[in-house]
């Protein structure tokens, strides 16, 4: 799979050409890097098992970690799932198109490679117009994990995808920045109460207000212990990790968090290890004289900038990233879920 020519299409100037070529590659069983509103995806025809297998190979992804299948209209849902509960349908209609992924019982026709051997399938209708048009033009449903090498931070720009897949896949569509910046919310909709398996662009509060109640799976913020069943297999793996070591600072209060970060920073600096602090814009002044990447004014903006910042830390040859914990409401839950994994659960 190495050393093939990768064609890059800038969708602002090469829309028709890029879309036609990418749709053709999908139909022929090839892989396409494409933008969505959450992160870039690495797509293939979901009903072509051989094509789906090549996604796992290209990413170096464990074969028991299932993929999300992307659709562009409700009629495509029937290809993938059977007997959709009424409550589930209401939530899909409420949050689609958008960063919401429904886990439902799969049809037997859906191959076990896409579902990682489970009898369920994860389905999402993206709102990004390029993603939607690629699905429509290819005439297929598209399986797509985030377009990063397994374990690395997810890509939010075409450049990130190039960094990981140049010379390894035939086409990358450049549609600008992925706005949400973290992946979709993966939600098991089979039972009475929706269960969030992975927090993301649609918040727990939004789901609760639409459904009346919501559960958050145990693996979202803590490490699953050995033998504990992972409802979402992706939760098992170290993830989103830059080369730099990442630590999450969670003090008893803000002053304590700041002290922990500053003490750790100064200690690493004395060892000659370059550090950077990831913080809210408004808090940068609390770390005066130290290297900071302010990630935004709230958790939503932090989500949008997080993966780019993790990749930038490596480009800037940082040895340590110190992350100021954010509160868990709204997009904070998704941000903390990602950073805790990037840190391999290490805290200070």
Instruction: Give residues in contact with Mg ion (CB under 5 A).
Output: 146
Query: Residue number with the shortest CB distance to ligand TXA?
Result: 234
Q: Which stretch binds ligand TXA (CB under 6 A): 7-15, 24-32, 120-128, 163-171?
A: 120-128
One residue of 22, 144, 277, 333 binding ligand TXA per CB under 6 A: 144
Please list every residue from 57 through 76 that binds ligand TXA, using CB under 6 A.
65-68
Per CB under 6 A, 232 contacts ligand TXA:
yes
One residue of 145, 194, 199, 300 binding ligand TXA per CB under 6 A: 145
Per CB under 6 A, 32 contacts ligand TXA:
no
Residues 6+ apart with CB under 8 A from 267: none
Give buried/exposed letters for 283-310 (b at 16+ CB in 10 A, else e).
bbebbeebebbbbbeebbbbbbbbbbbb
One residue of 76, 115, 203, 241 binding ligand TXA per CB under 6 A: 115
Per CB under 6 A, 153 contacts ligand TXA:
no
12 and 1 Cβ atoms separated by less than 8 Å: no
Among Mg ion, ligand TXA, none, the one that 233 touches (CB under a kind-dependent 5 to 8 A) is ligand TXA
Sheet containing strand 185-188, strands side by side? 7-10, 171-174, 32-34, 41-45, 142-143, 68-70, 120-124, 100-105, 185-188, 195-198, 215-216
DSSP designation for 106: B
Among ligand TXA, Mg ion, none, the one that 118 touches (CB under a kind-dependent 5 to 8 A) is ligand TXA
CB of 161 to ligand TXA, least distance (A): 11
Rounded distance between C-alpha atoms, residue 70 and residue 43, angstroms? 9
CB of 204 to ligand TXA, least distance (A): 16
Taking the alpha carbons of 234, 115, 76, 48 in that order, is the dihedral positive or negative? Answer: positive
Per CB under 6 A, 173 contacts ligand TXA:
no
CB atoms within 10 A of CB 8: 16
Per CB under 6 A, 121 contacts ligand TXA:
yes
Strands (E), the chain: 7-10, 32-34, 41-45, 68-70, 100-105, 120-124, 142-143, 171-174, 185-188, 195-198, 215-216, 245-249, 275-279, 292-294, 320-324
CB of 146 to Mg ion, least distance (A): 3
Please identify, using beta-carbon distances, which residue of 65 and 203 lies nearer to Mg ion. Answer: 65
Q: Which stretch binds ligand TXA (CB under 6 A): 97-105, 212-220, 255-263, 337-345?
A: 97-105
Give the three-class secondary structure for 63. coil
Per CB under 6 A, 46 contacts ligand TXA:
no
Please identify, using beta-carbon distances, which residue of 134 and 197 lies nearer to ligand TXA. Answer: 197
Give the three-class secondary structure for 342. helix
Positions in the binding site for ligand TXA (CB under 6 A): 36, 38-39, 41, 65-68, 99, 101, 103, 115, 118, 120-122, 124, 126, 144-146, 183-184, 186, 197-198, 231-234
């Amino acid at each position: 799979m190495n050393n093939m020519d990768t064609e890059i299409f800038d969708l602002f100037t090469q829309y028709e050409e890029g879309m036609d070529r990418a749709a053709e590659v999908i139909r022929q069983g090839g892989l396409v890097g494409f933008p969505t509103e959450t992160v870039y995806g690495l797509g293939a025809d979901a009903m072509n098992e051989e094509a789906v297998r090549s996604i796992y190979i290209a990413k170096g992804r464990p074969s028991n970690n299932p993929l999300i299948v992307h659709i562009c209209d409700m009629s495509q849902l029937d290809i993938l799932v059977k007997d959709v509960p009424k409550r589930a349908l209401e939530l899909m209609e409420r949050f689609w198109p958008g960063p919401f992924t429904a886990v439902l019982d799969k049809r037997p026709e859906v191959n076990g490679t896409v579902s990682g051997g489970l009898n369920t399938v994860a389905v999402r209708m993206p709102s990004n117009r390029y993603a939607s048009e690629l699905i429509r033009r290819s005439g297929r449903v598209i399986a797509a994990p985030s377009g990063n090498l397994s374990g690395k931070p997810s890509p939010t720009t075409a450049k990130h995808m190039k960094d990981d897949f140049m010379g390894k896949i035939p086409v990358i569509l450049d549609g600008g920045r992925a706005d949400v910046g973290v992946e979709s919310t993966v939600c098991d909709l089979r039972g009475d109460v929706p269960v969030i398996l992975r927090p993301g662009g649609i918040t727990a509060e939004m789901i609760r207000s639409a459904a009346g109640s919501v559960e958050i799976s145990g693996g979202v913020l803590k490490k699953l212990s050995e033998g504990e069943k992972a409802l979402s297999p992706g939760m098992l793996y170290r993830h989103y990790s830059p080369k730099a070591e990442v630590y999450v600072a969670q003090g008893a209060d803000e002053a304590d968090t700041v002290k922990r970060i500053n003490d750790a920073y100064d200690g690493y600096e004395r060892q000659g290890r370059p550090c950077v602090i990831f913080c809210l814009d408004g808090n940068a002044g609390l770390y005066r004289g130290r290297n900071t990447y302010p990630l935004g004014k709230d958790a939503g903006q932090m989500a949008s900038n997080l993966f780019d910042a993790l990749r930038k830390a490596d480009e800037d040859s940082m040895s340590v990233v110190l992350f100021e914990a954010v509160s868990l409401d709204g997009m904070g839950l998704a941000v903390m879920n990602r950073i805790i994994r990037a840190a391999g659960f290490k805290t200070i």
